[in-house]
Every structure is written in structure tokens, then in C-alpha cells.
Amino acid sequence: MQSSTQTLLLGRTALVTGGGRGIGAAIARQLVACGASVTIAGRSVSALKDSADALGCGYVMLDLSDAASVESAFASRTSLDILVNNAGAVKTAPFQKVSNADWDATLAVNLTGAFLCCKAAVGTMTKRGFGRIVNIASTGGLAPYAYAAPYIAAKHGLIGLTRALALELARTGVTVNAVCPGYTDTDMVRSGVAAVAAKTGRTEQEALADFLKGNSQKRLIDPQEVARVVSWLCEPGSDGITGQSIVVAGGEVMH
């Protein structure tokens, strides 16, 4: 006998970009656990296949920097109830050392890719009268960090896109929200901590403490905490929640 949790999203189809690892994998796992039919998307077929096998879901090749790739990935889908724009990338550098190529690449993944996916999904959702779009932004979309100007600009833009689209779709049965994690316990953050420690001569514990200085709870966020918020936004009873930016960051940002 299935539990109530296992049937919350039964019959719903979901696509999670960047779903092969970190926060994306946690989101895919949570949606599967709630009964959804999930597909993860990314650029590496071999990595996607391994992750999909582990998560118990499907996969599709998708390069967010290529509009034709996005169009192709969505063209093969006959229905889509849930879109989670999770894929993201960050490269830190002082502003004057940010190249035009770095700027373009960062916006392509973190903002333009989400725009393309939303554009590909909205038509089907509005025709069916139901849809849930969840954009994984960042606390960096609500408050600035130094040395990451392209990423901060992209995430602020993603929250702006979320709000504008939520207004346009308010009477269609489609909701659009953003979830804004703080520093989360992922390979990407752990690698960043290790890199700072190596560059500064501090221990990894000291470097991590610097990362967490704005977090009132002084801890990394568990990816599963983010995943639960995403699934909650997709579950029955969430119809009235749209245009919101929900922070999961241990009190780092309050708004």
C-alpha cells in the first residue's frame, strides 16, 4: 500500500535541469518519491544515464546554451506538469577580470537557459490548465556577493523573470516560483571551500566558517531541504502560491 506522500504527485510529469547531481539530484529524488514521473536533463549522456539509474527516473540530453537543443528536448514531450530550472554555474573573479565570454556563458546557463525552458513549456501547461514552474535561484538573487557579478546579475534576473511570468500566467492554472538556497552541502560548494583554503593557507573549517558567516544557523543547507520546498510548491494545495522567492538559507537573507 502506498503512503500519502508517495501519491502526492502521482500522474504528474516533471523535468529537472541539472538533475544529475547536488540540489538537482535531490529534487529529482524527492519528486520521484512523491509519485511523479521525472526526467533529468543535462549535457553529458553518460553522466545522466548513471544518475537516472540511481534516481529511478528518465533522462534527456539538453544544452541550455543552445536554443535548438532546448527546442529538441521539449519537442519529444507530449505533456509536462512540472518544470524545475535548476541548472546553474558560477565562476568567481574580480569584476575587471570578467571576460565578455565568461559573462555570456554565465547568463546563458543561469538565466537564458531558464527563459528558453519556460518558453518551451508554457504553451503545453496553459493549454492543459495546469503547471508548476520552479526556478532555483540563490540568495545571490536577493542580495549581492562580491567577485561574482555575472552570477549575481543572472540570479537577480531569474527572480525578475519568475515574478513577471507569474503575473502573466496568474489566471491560467500555472504557478511560477523561485527557491533561493544559501550555501548548500554539494560537491560544488565543498570544492569552493577547499579552493579557498588552499589559496589562503587556512584550514577548510576556517574557510567554511567564512562562507557561513551570514548564516544564523552556521551550517550548510542540506540539499533535501531545498528539494522538499520544491515538491511542496508542486503538490495539491499550492495553487495560491505564485511569484514568490522562498529562501532556504538558515536566516542568511530575510525579506
Alpha-helical regions (H) of 66-217: 67-75, 100-107, 113-128, 149-168, 187-200, 204-211
CA pair distance 159, 9, nearest whole angstrom:
25
Name the amino acid, one letter, at 221. I
183 belongs to the catalytic site: no
Q: Which of 179, 81, 73 is nearest to 125 (CA)?
A: 81
The DSSP string of 78-108 is S--SEEEE---------GGG--HHHHHHHHI
Using the Cα atoms of residue 184, residue 185, residue 186 and residue 188 in order, give the sign of their dihedral: positive
Helix 204-211, helix 187-200: angle, nearest 10: 120
- Catalytic residue from among 59, 147, 151, 183: 151
CA pair distance 115, 128, nearest whole angstrom:
20
- State how far the alpha carbon of 108 is from the alpha carbons of 32, 104, 122, in Å: 28, 6, 19
Judge whether 166 and 175 are in contact, CB under 8 Å: yes
CA pair distance 206, 210, nearest whole angstrom:
7
CA pair distance 87, 43, nearest whole angstrom:
11
Residues designated catalytic = 151
